């Protein structure tokens, strides 16, 4: 097991957004987090990476056991040393080249010497097919290229797990394929991934594990094939049927 949460709760003001969330993820899992808009998928992913603070719960990450109610900054940073996060809107620095975007975390956060950072970054860019764009600025790239650069930035830090929050939903349909194809290659290579997505084809074909959420709860936690062929709840069955 790489990570798990037990009894995670999260409110915004007086609204309970995540309620009693428990699940675990094995190394090499590709987990698709599915559900209607507003069910708390993004909030859950952000809590796992401490971009948002959960109110309570137990979080195990590798050998570390954290009480989410009392997590210190240092503990959160220690987890984040081993994770990468890919955002819907890429979040690239627009005034830096692709290569500079990818080396930034290595040089600043990890104190890797520049030459070595450059080498690591070029390897990461090669994994997403972007070495020829190393010196380009983000504004000159297509959405698919921007997202692949953002994936390379996360990969360069050698994470144990990658979190993706709807990585293709800001893209033109014609450009989603190149990003999904990179993600599929990563999953097939054994990268542990948690992917919030509305791309059910990707979830069905690439993920091995599905978490289906409704109103801040996990309604189904299943093997991916089982989920798509025999959903247990009526909500999940309707959700699958409604997909284009």
Ligand X SMILES: Nc1ncnc2c1ncn2[C@@H]1O[C@H](COP(=O)(O)OP(=O)(O)OP(=O)(O)O)[C@@H](O)[C@H]1O
**What is the token pair recorded at 31?**
């987990």
**What is the token pair recorded at 109?**
């956060």
Q: How far is the CB of 11 from ligand X (least distance, A)?
A: 9
Considering the rule CB under 6 A, would residue 38 count as an interface residue with ligand X?
Answer: yes
Instruction: Specify the DSSP element, H or E, that contains 170.
Output: none
Considering the rule CB under 5 A, would residue 197 count as an interface residue with Mg ion?
Answer: no
Number of residues that bind ligand X (CB under 6 A): 10
Tell me whether residue 41 or residue 146 sits nearer to ligand X (CB atom): 41
12 binds, among ligand X, Mg ion, none (CB under 5 to 8 A by kind): ligand X
Stretch that binds ligand X, among 35-43, 120-128, 149-157, 218-226 (CB under 6 A): 35-43
Stretch that binds ligand X, among 32-40, 96-104, 105-113, 235-243 (CB under 6 A): 32-40
> By the 8 A CB rule, do 42 and 18 touch?
no
Considering the rule CB under 6 A, would residue 17 count as an interface residue with ligand X?
Answer: yes
Let me know if 218 is exposed, middle or buried by CB neighbors in 10 A (0-12, 13-18, 19+).
buried
Considering the rule CB under 5 A, would residue 168 count as an interface residue with Mg ion?
Answer: no
Tell me whether residue 37 or residue 72 sits nearer to ligand X (CB atom): 37
Tell me whether residue 43 or residue 101 sits nearer to ligand X (CB atom): 43
Considering the rule CB under 6 A, would residue 39 count as an interface residue with ligand X?
Answer: yes
C-alpha 203/C-alpha 199 separation (Å) is: 6
Considering the rule CB under 6 A, would residue 43 count as an interface residue with ligand X?
Answer: yes
**One residue of 12, 109, 205, 243 binding ligand X per CB under 6 A:** 12
Tell me whether residue 42 or residue 101 sits nearer to Mg ion (CB atom): 42
Provide the b/e sequence for 111-146 (b: ≥16 CB within 10 Å). Answer: ebeeeebbebbbebbebbebbebbeebbeebebbbb
Let me know if 239 is exposed, middle or buried by CB neighbors in 10 A (0-12, 13-18, 19+).
buried
14 binds, among Mg ion, ligand X, none (CB under 5 to 8 A by kind): none
**What is the token pair recorded at 226?**
């089982």
Q: How far is the CB of 50 from ligand X (least distance, A)?
A: 14
Provide the b/e sequence for 37-48 (b: ≥16 CB within 10 Å). Answer: eebbbbbbbbbb
**What is the token pair recorded at 169?**
């939903």
Considering the rule CB under 5 A, would residue 39 count as an interface residue with Mg ion?
Answer: no
DSSP label at 38? T
Stretch that binds Mg ion, among 37-45, 93-101, 178-186, 220-228 (CB under 5 A): 37-45
Number of residues that bind Mg ion (CB under 5 A): 1
> By the 8 A CB rule, do 230 and 217 touch?
no
Interface positions with Mg ion (CB under 5 A): 42
Q: Residue numbers of the site for ligand X (CB under 6 A)? A: 12, 17, 35, 37-43
């Amino acid at each position: 097991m790489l990570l798990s949460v037990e009894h995670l709760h999260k409110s915004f003001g007086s609204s309970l957004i995540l309620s009693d969330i428990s699940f675990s993820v094995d190394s090499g899992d590709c987990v698709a987090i599915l559900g209607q808009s507003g069910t708390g998928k993004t909030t859950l992913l952000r809590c796992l990476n401490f971009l948002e603070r959960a109110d309570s719960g137990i979080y195990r990450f590798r050998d570390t056991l954290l009480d989410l109610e009392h997590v210190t900054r240092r503990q959160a940073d220690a987890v984040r040393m081993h994770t990468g996060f890919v955002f819907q809107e890429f979040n690239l620095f627009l005034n830096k080249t692709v290569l500079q975007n990818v080396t930034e975390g290595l040089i600043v956060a990890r104190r890797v010497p520049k030459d070595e950072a450059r080498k690591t970054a070029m390897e990461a860019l090669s994994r997403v097919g972007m070495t020829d764009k190393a010196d380009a600025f983000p504004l000159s790239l297509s959405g698919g290229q921007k997202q692949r650069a953002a994936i390379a930035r996360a990969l360069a830090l050698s994470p144990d797990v990658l979190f993706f929050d709807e990585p293709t939903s800001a893209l033109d349909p014609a450009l989603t394929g190149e990003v999904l194809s990179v993600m599929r290659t990563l999953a097939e290579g054994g990268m542990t991934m948690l992917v919030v997505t509305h791309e059910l084809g990707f979830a069905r074909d690439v993920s091995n594990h599905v978490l289906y959420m409704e109103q801040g709860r996990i309604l189904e936690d299943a093997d991916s094939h089982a989920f798509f062929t025999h959903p247990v709840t009526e909500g999940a069955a309707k959700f699958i049927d409604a997909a284009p």
